[in-house]
Structure 1
């Protein structure tokens, strides 16, 4: 069987495109192919990746999937052509060398089933290839007239014969990489000129196209910046490409890509040098020159433009996904608001403002529907509810009637310690009607569920937002111009990373959170919860191995991201408690009291955590393990306990102030490099263990992240003046700038040209200067003065 594998090596191509060391790429590809997740690789396999960040790992995964799809396509195409007896060595080599799906499609197009064949193939079918070859190899011996055959289409006149020969020569030049590749490389290096104008309707258009164009004119104002637009493909911004594509698709813009005259001249020079012999004269010379021109206009130029435009679109889509992913990550990692009751308000006019008060654990305490039209009554009820339930914070949804409700809240909280925060409510209505919402809040009306969701988004953004498809959260740009499967895969990956790196409490985590942990899915999360409900709380991570459907690979991937807070676990002694351990194990001393007559149902907190001397027993029992409260992976427990012995760290001191100080003192005179001579596990793994020992109990990586912006009052857009200095919070980041909430009910825009080369992220607090106010269009232009955090 012929070799249909690509001429390129997957790891080499990924290494080249991602600019990464080949050995590290090879390791990552191997781990991904064997079912490893990105969070697991990023945290627990740094030795094999040279400490790659998550973004690079995700890039490798994306490239790997793309190239594997190309590999499969190459095999499918060549297998199909072999069955059709259309394979030649030239076709095989060109297709095996393809490095993109666009290139593959161009190569395969002439041979697709049902295709009538290219103009060159039709001419070859008329036996004109020999004379075409003579024209470019030995032109003085060409006799075109002897190929005329009256009554045969394509040969009935000298003109038809010349046209057929022209098509064959053009095809030969087009397939010659020694001519085409330098031109393609030149165009990529120097760029193409892109021109946009407003689409003009014509009577020659079909009724459907005309109708689409007329309908699109209603929203054409959104594309005014592109009605007279010129840019090089080298400098055009990703958001501009997506906007141009959308405008062209909607018949609002006419778009033209042009290759420079220098590019055309280089092509003519190279083609003539190789295919126009010095002894070529007269009719044959004119024929070859027309073939070169035909090759450029009909084959080369359209193909290069198509390839470069495809690459621009692909890069723009990737960049847009990156923007969405970064915004989503920053939103999900927003610091939670702990320890207070929260009032959530879903504002509205006709159907009223839906209100819900939740406890510090997210339980619903009170709900109500209040109307802005009855403002005095609404204020009175809100004051009583805030005072009665001791609400420290208010979460106000940013939807319809947000502005009016905010004005009312300013009066309500005046003179109190209560503050409010504007919360993005995108997706809340979708959640409120979902099966999950019905299961969580069965007794609440769907409209009130939305208010509960808004309050919980302030309490714990990550725990609440994982219940919604990421694409509905509304922190991206041009997401509707991106293939949905690509966007979903990227955003799901971000959610998995955030949930995993924050960690989930094995005994309190919801199904919505657990299914997003690396190595788990919905089925495994349900099995985990069912096990928990049937047997009580988990005592250690090792018990994960007892869950049906959660094998060694899943355990390896998820164990480090699932925590057990032993100080909160209370064990209820039941007869079936022995079911926690494998059949045949000795009874768990923690589950069964030393007093055999302990009464059924008695509760007792876990204590007496096992120390280093009980390592073997801990592996084979249901004893609690203090390391289960950390991010240290079970595969490194032996190393961790050995290190604890060297430090003199007691199990009960992990996460306590005394233990942290002991580790800090130990590190003063010892570097990780020196320590690793004794452990030989890899410096990154040793550093990870030491970092875990330095973190306090209940440590949350989000506590150091950006916090919600709380407000006590509002300004009005009418009161704004150009030149005013304000503080605000970044609510969205795009390729063309950042939107900032400055407290006037309308976000202002800091254009990239006014950012002073500062990188902003969603959630950043900033100091801005008002540059321009367009009250008619509700547009506020800002300039960044200072990033406050």
Structure 2
């Protein structure tokens, strides 16, 4: 069966079975995805981390399917009902749904009307009337009246016979497959408002009377409607016969049932009863089952889509360009309670803190400038990070004015503070800064995010970072698993300096657990910096297997062995030594020597252990050792005088930063405390099927203001700078414009000082993403 599973995955991923078998063996042996993707390319023939993650997920599903298959086979066999035909069907079932369909007739269940009727001896009546339509139902039923068995009269006998057939049809796996296929291709997903809930559920008004082909419902609309149902606002159902004449009394699914059993309904004595059996079987049994299943499938699809959106955005955020090891002053803006200031050195170490009051209501600008200038001079600050929450633009204006007056060319950058409060109040932050006020910890986190977004964001639960779409409406376990995989892949793609990394960052390195990560830091604190990778083997509980998995991703900068600062795995050091010996070039002289390395022929150093992919990777790494895969650092410049939504004027062209990408467009921070939406139709002059084809979180873009709704604080933007406000040809989906998707409630900055920071992000109890946007964006252009 393992071979069959591997063959199926190979077909689905469009790779060879040999590759899948090799990868599965590596995974089963305890190897991590990052390690396999980076250092076992010869074995898997180059499967990348995305393919390996998909393989890992699919492997889990198919193994669960196989386990369930064996349970079902054993259960039916114990009943003495497992014949060869049924066994073959169970063994060839390719999904959990089809497997459960086959098991349905044999599944232990409470006594049903059909079972009671069979016990009363009515099964022969059911078979006779179904197969012999010339028989008169009442006449035949009269012979089955038996008061002691609960069959009081002919009507009771016919009702019992009908119940037997209805349950038989509802448990016919082949019939269910036919109906399922028809519904998947033709059914509509319908939403209606619960009577009397119109005002309470105004945010869902786009779905008060909404019909859409089941196959075309995108994840964000599906999740919005499911949320509406959960809140008691919407009623959802499956319309099996869209477009059907209102005078029609039957469903096409009833025709499918009749055709399946080769039943031709006419005017024979039993035909009216048989038609009733078919109708009841569909309406009472099968349709309810199918509606539950189809809606469950739609929800699963929507959740998968939403989780993927979150994962993609998280990856972009984690892989955002770092400002680098520069002394940075971080400011956590505030109003009444002031702005919290923290200065960190190039390694992220806290140097100094202060609280200033340059914003209303106190407006102590001169005093605040004096404090900040003193910190800048004392610590030679060359970068300023400002959190983008409440009072951020006022603080930004204060800082820029102060720098201009002082003639300093220090760069100030607006930094997302989503989730900063989660870190500030965490046990990790308390352990790192035990004597520091919670609000000041937030300023430290903001400064560190600018230096190295990845190193700081790994300290926060990914769900709190706030780049998701309907994250509270999806499986939290699946979301957490997917996001953890993204964080792991990003950390290992960049690499980690073992002498400066926090336990939170080390914990994400392949092969390292929380305990081992803490042990590394404790060992470092007690014994000083690591001088080489081999010293890691002295860390308690870091054994050979963990070392094999983590060593290539951990960097020892300026250590004894120059290769320890690169992504070359220690197991491959012999290859480098062989190159050095044969070329007469010292290892340290090879590193970064482009001309020399270009002259080295990789195939000359291939052997039974190290194949061509590994040798090519080694040469590439030696060319640019420790190369950071993240892009070059750059920031957006917000327009002066544009600080609030009311300052926006249709037609303005502004620079902004992509904060979130969804299936229907991208949200852009233009510096007014409220992200605007660029609908998917306004991202490019060309057709765009996926917004991520054009933009990703962290991109700096230019946008034109198309529409502003001050009342609801919604901003419609366009990246097509030739678009003109007021043009027609609008987006067809009103739920796809204007409001940023829901974030984790902790993504709102609550700093413990009575201030709630909200950049227009909806909390878990906020308005639904599928809310009414038509009025606000009636003029949003769509091509």
TM range (shorter): 0.7 to 0.9
Query: In the TM superposition, what whole-angstrom CA distance separates every residue of 1:353-403 from its partner, at most 9, and x where no partner exists?
Result: 111111112122221112223322323333333344332222111223324
1:421 aligns with 2:413: yes
The 5 A counterparts of 1:278-677 are 282-371=268-357, 372=359, 373-375=361-363, 376=365, 377-414=367-404, 415-565=407-557, 567=558, 569=559, 624-656=560-592, 659-664=593-598, 666=599, 670=601, 674-675=603-604
What secondary structure is seen at the aligned counterpart in 2 of 1:771? Answer: strand
C-alpha displacement at 1:81, in angstroms? 6.4
What secondary structure is seen at the aligned counterpart in 1 of 2:707? Answer: strand
C-alpha displacement at 1:257, in angstroms? 1.6
The 5 A counterparts of 1:231-250 are 231-250=212-231
* Partners of 2:636 and 2:655 within 8 A in 1: no
Query: How many pairs does the alignment contain?
Result: 700
2:156 maps to which residue? 160
Give distance in 2, aligned partners of 1:728 and 1:23: 48
From 97, 103, 111, the counterpart of 1:117: 111
> Which segment is superposed worse, 33-42 or 709-718?
709-718
1:32 maps to which residue? 27
Give distance in 2, aligned partners of 1:342 and 1:636: 38
C-alpha displacement at 1:708, in angstroms? 4.3
Give distance in 1, aligned partners of 2:628 and 2:678: 32
The 5 A counterparts of 1:94-133 are 99-101=94-96, 115-133=109-127
What secondary structure is seen at the aligned counterpart in 2 of 1:785? Answer: coil
C-alpha displacement at 1:433, in angstroms? 2.0
* Partners of 1:343 and 1:395 within 8 A in 2: yes
Distance of aligned partners of 1:774 and 1:141 in 2 relative to their CA distance in 1, 3 Å threshold? closer
What secondary structure is seen at the aligned counterpart in 1 of 2:190? Answer: strand
What secondary structure is seen at the aligned counterpart in 1 of 2:216? Answer: coil
From 192, 195, 203, the counterpart of 2:190: 195
What secondary structure is seen at the aligned counterpart in 2 of 1:444? Answer: coil
> Which segment is superposed worse, 548-557 or 245-254?
548-557
C-alpha displacement at 1:239, in angstroms? 0.7
* Partners of 1:110 and 1:118 within 8 A in 2: no
Distance of aligned partners of 1:421 and 1:22 in 2 relative to their CA distance in 1, 3 Å threshold? same
Give distance in 1, aligned partners of 2:49 and 2:292: 32
Give distance in 1, aligned partners of 2:252 and 2:585: 73
Distance of aligned partners of 1:392 and 1:534 in 2 relative to their CA distance in 1, 3 Å threshold? closer
| Contiguous gaps of at least 5 residues in structure 2 | 245-249, 723-783
What secondary structure is seen at the aligned counterpart in 2 of 1:733? Answer: strand
From 205, 208, 216, the counterpart of 1:227: 208
1:259 maps to which residue? 240
C-alpha displacement at 1:184, in angstroms? 2.0
What secondary structure is seen at the aligned counterpart in 2 of 1:304? Answer: helix
From 674, 690, 700, the counterpart of 2:619: 690
Query: In the TM superposition, what whole-angstrom CA distance separates every residue of 1:335-366 from its partner, at most 9, and x where no partner exists?
Result: 22224321111122232211111111212222
Give distance in 2, aligned partners of 1:652 and 1:354: 45
Distance of aligned partners of 1:187 and 1:280 in 2 relative to their CA distance in 1, 3 Å threshold? closer
C-alpha displacement at 1:74, in angstroms? 4.1
Query: In the TM superposition, what whole-angstrom CA distance separates every residue of 1:657-704 from its partner, at most 9, and x where no partner exists?
Result: xx232102x05xx5x5x54766773332122111111114x53222x3
C-alpha displacement at 1:295, in angstroms? 2.2
1:611 maps to which residue? none
* Partners of 1:139 and 1:280 within 8 A in 2: no
1:135 aligns with 2:129: yes
Q: Which has the higher contact order (CA 8 A, sep 6+)?
A: 2
2:695 maps to which residue? 760
Give distance in 1, aligned partners of 2:425 and 2:291: 47
Give distance in 1, aligned partners of 2:208 and 2:128: 50
Distance of aligned partners of 1:713 and 1:21 in 2 relative to their CA distance in 1, 3 Å threshold? farther
* Partners of 1:334 and 1:707 within 8 A in 2: no
2:712 maps to which residue? 777
TM-score, structure 1 normalization: 0.81
1:175 aligns with 2:171: yes
C-alpha displacement at 1:281, in angstroms? 6.4
1:715 maps to which residue? 642
> Which segment is superposed worse, 538-547 or 391-400?
538-547
What secondary structure is seen at the aligned counterpart in 2 of 1:254? Answer: strand
1:735 maps to which residue? 663
* Partners of 1:770 and 1:780 within 8 A in 2: yes
C-alpha displacement at 1:12, in angstroms? 3.7
Distance of aligned partners of 1:699 and 1:714 in 2 relative to their CA distance in 1, 3 Å threshold? farther
Give distance in 1, aligned partners of 2:640 and 2:372: 16
The 5 A counterparts of 1:64-79 are 64-76=59-71
Give distance in 2, aligned partners of 1:14 and 1:157: 57
C-alpha displacement at 1:447, in angstroms? 1.5
Query: In the TM superposition, what whole-angstrom CA distance separates every residue of 1:120-169 from its partner, at most 9, and x where no partner exists?
Result: 2232222222332233444556832211112533x212122112222222
| Contiguous gaps of at least 5 residues in structure 1 | 202-212, 570-623
1:47 maps to which residue? 42
